[in-house]
């Protein structure tokens, strides 16, 4: 069923602000807006249920603990994990990847082992692996991408070898919008005896994520890109891997028995969640997942893809534009450059036209290097955008060309 | 249109016809800086004669603001004594500094018009509009930060 965008927009308080009237928000890949139900759930937690979890035994604290653990179960259900213990709350995708990198790879990799990533990765799925390789002596290998912005699959299969211990890739690229053939990549990696970490920061907001069907080993994503609050994210891990890995942080609540000189760890998932956690954040994330499920991830995926396709079509028709990424296998993230207009100047112009896009390297300097550009402009679409937003973007781009004409 | 206050004619001219573009021969110092926010790049080369900046040039790529600012800077600074150059840097920084108003999170549309133009800065006043766009201040400052680094290095190895 198609999404009723007008109705959806009314659920988002930010779009109701007077100064946001006629404003087109096209930066959901950076962070999404939040529906009222998410804000209300967090408020309710703070106003009526706030206490620390897993510490005290009075009724209020029991309630806070229940709410937090219920949020974990909500996440499990959303991604169809086998067990709630496989859901670890973190601050964001970046922390989730770091946890897997240092907790698992840092512990088990040896000199000569290999980690295979792509040149299209967000710095958050690149820099942690550089560090792990520096400390373990493992080697970092890169799959490149072609002119269309697709991973070179032939090279991927060549690079996968007996020494590959881990493949870490984003499901959808945040810079080019490319959706990678994840199922095939996971199957090939497993055949080669490697584990797979999926950076789902961009894909989780837009499509059903079924970790058992995907058969992934680690999955990382952030609540704030999928209608949830800032400051909470998830690392999903196969139970056996979470069991054998080390914590990243040490201290309160992650402990079993503490002695003067040594300590045992708590059970999963708490072993990997040191210190007081973001309870309200977890509650807000659960409310966001309710909202998404209510609309239906299938409907959301169809809607977002349609907007992405429409944007590619309308933008490609503009003379002097370069749209990056493949024409198909493309999510609702569209990167582009207008000839002779720096994306930074372009973004300032679009802002004046009340169209919010991002310009820059999008935390993907390796991508910019391969495209031989310093930066791109990027429009990203979500469930509260509609066809009119795409038209507004295209129209504003024509105006920008006109405005900057004298500069060329 | 408010945008015209940002993209002034003088900037257009400097962007299209950058002054002192290239590299100084026998430069004493070179500083390369990148604006991680949008990828603007500046390579500044400087030659000193005693306490005077006798020659300077820049190479780079990036947005209008970053490149025009670099061009304007070289024109203004070339030939100045180090102390005078430092004064110009300070005045320029002051011009771009937003008046912080704790009650308003909006950019300082009013505040920056409060800055009277600084006559000492001549054409550099064309960059005044930048202070309304906090993220663009970094673009305007890039060349100037390279100059500050060059002067700092000069101090350490005279
Ligand atoms: C593909 C991808 N990976 C990782 C991240 C990092 O997410 P966060 O900043 O929430 O940790 C992002 C966010 O921009 C992303 O798009
Ligand atoms: Zn810039």
CATH number at residue A68: 3.40.640.10
Confidence (pLDDT) at A374: 85
Whether A21 and A86 map to the same domain: the answer is no
- The secondary structure of B106-148 as a DSSP string is S--TTHHHHS---GGGGGGGGGGGGGGSHHHHHHHHHHHHHHH
Per residue in A191-217, pLDDT (tens digit) is 999 999 999 999 999 999 999 999 999
**Are the C-beta atoms of B49 and B24 separated by less than 8 Å?**
no
Residue A110 phi, psi (nearest 5): -130, 160
Average pLDDT, stretch A11-20? 92
User: What is the band of A337 on the pLDDT scale with cuts at 50, 70, 90?
Assistant: very high
* Last residue of one domain, picked from the residues A227, A259, A293: A293
Domain identity same for A266 and A183: yes
User: For position A26, what pLDDT does the model report?
Assistant: 98
Residues A277 and A386 in one domain: no
Q: Among the residues of A178-324, which ranges form H helices?
A: 182-191, 211-214, 239-244, 279-295, 297-316
Tell me if A188 is assigned to some domain: yes
Distance, CA of B152 to chain centre = 16
Q: Do B12 and A407 touch (CB under 8 A)?
A: yes
Matching residue, tokens 């499509």? A207
Interval A291-309: pLDDT, tens? 999 999 999 999 999 999 9
Q: How confident is the model at residue B98 (pLDDT cuts 50, 70, 90)?
A: low
Cα–Cα distance list, A288 to A34, A208, A291, A304 (Å): 8, 14, 5, 17
**A94 token code pair:** 């970046």
Mean pLDDT of A265-273: 96
- Residue A148 burial (C-beta neighbours within 10 Å; 0-12, 13-18, 19+): middle
A353 and A287 both lie in a single domain:
no
Residue A407 Cα, gap to closest chain B Cα (Å): 6
Arithmetic mean of pLDDT, A101-120: 98
Q: Are residues A344 and A393 in the same domain?
A: yes
Helix/strand/coil (H/E/C) assignment for every residue in A165-221? EEEEEECECCCCCEECCHHHHHHHHHHCCCEEEEECCCCCCCCCCCHHHHCCCEEEE
Let me know whether A393 and A324 are in one domain: yes
pLDDT above 70 covers a percentage of chain B that reads: 86
Is A34 inside a domain boundary?
A: no
DSSP state of A330: B
By three-state DSSP, how is residue A162 classified? coil
SS3 B17: coil
Q: Quick one: average pLDDT of A370-382?
A: 93
- Give pLDDT tens digits for A17-66: 988 888 999 999 999 999 999 999 999 999 999 999 988 889 898 999 99
Partner residue opposite A345 with nearest CB, options B1, B61, B63: B63
Shared domain for A252 and A376, answered yes or no, is no
pLDDT value of position B114: 44
- pLDDT bin (cut points 50, 70, 90) of residue B116 is low
Same domain membership, residue A135 and residue A261? yes
Q: Out of B38, B61, B133, whose CB is closest to A360?
A: B38
Range of the domain at A89: 39-293
Instruction: Inform me whether the pLDDT recorded for B105 exceeds 50.
Output: no
For chain A, what is the domain count? 2
Does residue A289 form part of some domain? yes
Q: Which residue has the higher pLDDT, A381 or B120?
A: A381
Q: Are residue A16 and residue A48 in the same domain, yes or no? A: no
Distance (Å) of CA A41 to CA A32, A46, A280: 17, 9, 8
The beta-strand segments (E) located in A129-171 are: 139-143, 164-170
pLDDT over threshold 90, residue A77:
yes
Residue B147 Cα to chain centre, angstroms: 9
| pLDDT for res B111 | 44
- What is the predicted pLDDT for the residue at B95? 87
CA A259 from chain centre, in angstroms, equals 39
Q: Is residue A392 part of a domain?
A: yes
> Cα(B154)–Cα(B158) distance, rounded to whole angstroms?
5
> Which residue did the predictor score with more confidence, B132 or A260?
A260
Report whether pLDDT(A408) > 80.
no
Its pTM stands at 0.92
- Verify whether residue A363 is a known catalytic residue: yes
Do β-strands A321-323 and A333-338 pair in parallel, antiparallel, or remain unpaired? Answer: antiparallel
Distance, in Å, from the CA atom of B147 to the CA atom of B44, rounded to the nearest integer, reads 7
Q: Are residues A228 and A331 in the same domain?
A: no
Q: How long, in residues, is chain A?
A: 408
A:304-343 residues touching chain B, CB 8 A cutoff:
342-343
Q: What pLDDT does B102 receive?
A: 43
**Average predicted confidence (pLDDT) for chain B:** 85
Q: What percent of chain A has pLDDT over 90?
A: 91
Position B104 scores a pLDDT of 46
Question: What value does the mean pLDDT of chain A take?
Answer: 96
Helix-, strand-, coil-residue percentages of chain A, each rounded to 5: 45, 15, 35
Do residues A239 and A248 lie in contact, with contact meaning Cβ atoms separated by under 8 Å? no
Do A300 and A251 fall into the same domain?
no
Name the percent of chain B lying above pLDDT 90.
57
Contacts for A170 with CB less than 8 Å, ≥ 6 apart: A118, A120, A121, A122, A125, A180, A198, A199, A200, A201, A202, A203
Whether A399 is in a domain gets the answer: yes
In this predicted model, which residue has the larger pLDDT, A12 or B115? A12
Answer with the one of A293, A323, A357 that is the final residue of a domain.
Answer: A293
Nearest to A407 among B36, B40, B64 (CB): B64
Residue at a domain's end among A293, A317, A344: A293
- The answer to the question of residue A309 being in a domain is yes
- CA separation for the pair A175, A183 (Å, rounded): 21
Rounded to 5°, the CA angle A374-A375-A380 comes to 165
pLDDT of residue A49: 94
**Vertex A117: Cα angle to A373 and A371 (nearest 5):** 10
Measured in whole angstroms, the distance separating CA A59 from the mean position of its chain's CA atoms is 36
pLDDT digit string (tens) for A141-165? 999 999 999 999 999 999 999 999 9
The answer, yes or no, to whether residue A329 has pLDDT greater than 50, is yes
Degrees (nearest 5) of the Cα angle A100, A74, A331? 65
Asked whether the beta carbons of A334 and A379 are under 8 A apart, the reply is yes
Q: Which of A231, A228, A210 is nearest to A219 (CA)?
A: A210
Per the model's pLDDT, the better-predicted residue between A360 and A11 turns out to be A11
Q: Do the domain assignments include residue A33?
A: no
**Chain B interface test: which of A17, A127, A345, A351 (most B C-beta within 10 Å):** A345
CATH number, position A11: 3.90.1150.10
pLDDT at B106: 43
Q: Is residue A32 part of a domain?
A: no
**Nearest-CA neighbor of B109 among A62, A19, A333?**
A19
Record the tokens describing residue B129, joined without a space: 């509009």
Q: For position B117, what pLDDT does the model report?
A: 66
Specify the pLDDT at position B77.
95
| pLDDT score for B110 | 41
- B109: left (phi > 0), else alpha (psi -120 to 50), else beta? alpha
> Within this chain, do residues A311 and A378 fall inside the same structural domain, yes or no?
yes
pLDDT of amino acid B3: 85
Tell me which residues of chain B have a C-beta less than 8 Å from any C-beta of chain A: 1-3, 6-7, 12, 15-16, 36-41, 61-65, 133, 136, 139
Cβ(B84)–Cβ(B111) under 8 Å? no
Average pLDDT over residues B95-109: 55
**Which residues of chain B are within 8 Å of residue A359 when distances are taken between CB atoms?**
38
Q: Is the CB of residue A92 below 6 angstroms from any atom belonging to ligand 1?
A: yes
Establish if A375 touches chain B: CB-CB under 8 angstroms. Answer: yes
Cα–chain-centroid distance for residue A288? 15
């Amino acid at each position: 069923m198609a999404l009723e965008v007008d109705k959806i927009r009314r659920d988002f308080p930010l779009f109701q602000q007077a100064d946001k009237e006629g404003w087109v928000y096209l930066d959901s890949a950076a962070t999404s807006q939040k529906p009222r139900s998410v804000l209300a759930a967090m408020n309710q937690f703070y106003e009526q249920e706030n206490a620390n979890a897993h510490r005290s035994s009075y009724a209020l604290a029991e309630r806070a603990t229940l709410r937090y653990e219920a949020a974990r179960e909500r996440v499990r259900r959303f991604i169809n994990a086998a067990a709630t213990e496989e859901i670890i709350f973190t601050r964001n995708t970046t922390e989730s990847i770091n946890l897997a990198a240092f907790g698992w790879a840092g512990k088990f990799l040896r000199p000569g082992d290999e980690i295979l990533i792509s040149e299209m990765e967000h710095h958050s799925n690149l820099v942690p692996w550089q560090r792990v390789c520096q400390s373990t002596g493992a080697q970092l290998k890169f799959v490149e991408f072609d002119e269309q912005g697709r991973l070179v699959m032939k090279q991927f299969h060549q690079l996968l070898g007996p020494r590959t211990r881990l493949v870490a890739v984003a499901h959808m690229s945040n810079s080019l919008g490319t959706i990678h053939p994840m199922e095939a990549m996971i199957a090939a990696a497993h055949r080669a005896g490697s584990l797979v970490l999926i950076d789902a920061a961009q894909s989780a907001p837009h499509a059903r994520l079924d970790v058992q069907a995907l058969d992934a080993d680690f999955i990382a994503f952030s609540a704030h890109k999928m209608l949830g609050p800032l400051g909470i994210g998830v690392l999903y891990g196969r139970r056996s891997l979470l069991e054998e890995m080390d914590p990243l942080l040490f201290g309160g609540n992650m402990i079993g028995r503490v002695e003067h000189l040594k300590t045992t760890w708590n059970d999963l998932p708490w072993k990997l969640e040191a210190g007081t956690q973001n309870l309200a954040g977890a509650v807000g994330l659960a409310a966001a997942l309710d909202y998404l499920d209510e609309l239906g991830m299938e409907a959301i995926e169809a809607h977002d893809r349609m907007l992405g396709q429409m944007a590619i079509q309308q933008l490609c028709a503009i003379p002097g534009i370069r749209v990056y990424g493949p024409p198909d296998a493309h999510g609702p993230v569209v990167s582009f450059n207008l000839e002779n207009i720096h994306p930074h100047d372009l973004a300032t112009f679009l802002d004046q036209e009340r169209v919010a896009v991002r310009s820059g390297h999008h935390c993907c300097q390796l991508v910019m290097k391969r495209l031989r550009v310093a930066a791109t402009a990027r429009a990203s679409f979500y469930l509260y955008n509609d066809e009119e937003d795409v038209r507004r973007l295209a129209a504003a781009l024509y105006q920008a060309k006109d405005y900057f004409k004298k500069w060329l | 249109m408010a945008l015209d206050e940002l993209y002034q004619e003088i900037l257009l001219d400097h962007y299209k016809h950058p002054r002192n573009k290239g590299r100084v021969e026998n430069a004493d110092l070179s500083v390369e800086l990148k604006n991680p926010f949008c990828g603007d790049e500046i390579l500044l080369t400087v030659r000193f004669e005693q306490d005077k900046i006798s020659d300077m040039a820049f190479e780079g790529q990036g947005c209008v603001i970053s490149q025009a600012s670099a061009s304007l800077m070289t024109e203004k600074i070339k030939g100045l004594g180090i102390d005078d150059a430092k004064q110009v840097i300070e005045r320029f920084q002051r011009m771009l500094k937003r008046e912080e108003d704790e009650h308003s999170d909006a950019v300082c549309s009013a505040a920056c018009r409060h800055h009277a133009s600084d006559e000492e800065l001549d054409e550099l006043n064309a960059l005044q509009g930048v202070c309304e766009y906090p993220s663009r201040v970094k673009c305007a400052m890039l060349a100037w930060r390279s100059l500050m680094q060059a002067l700092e290095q000069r101090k350490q190895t005279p």
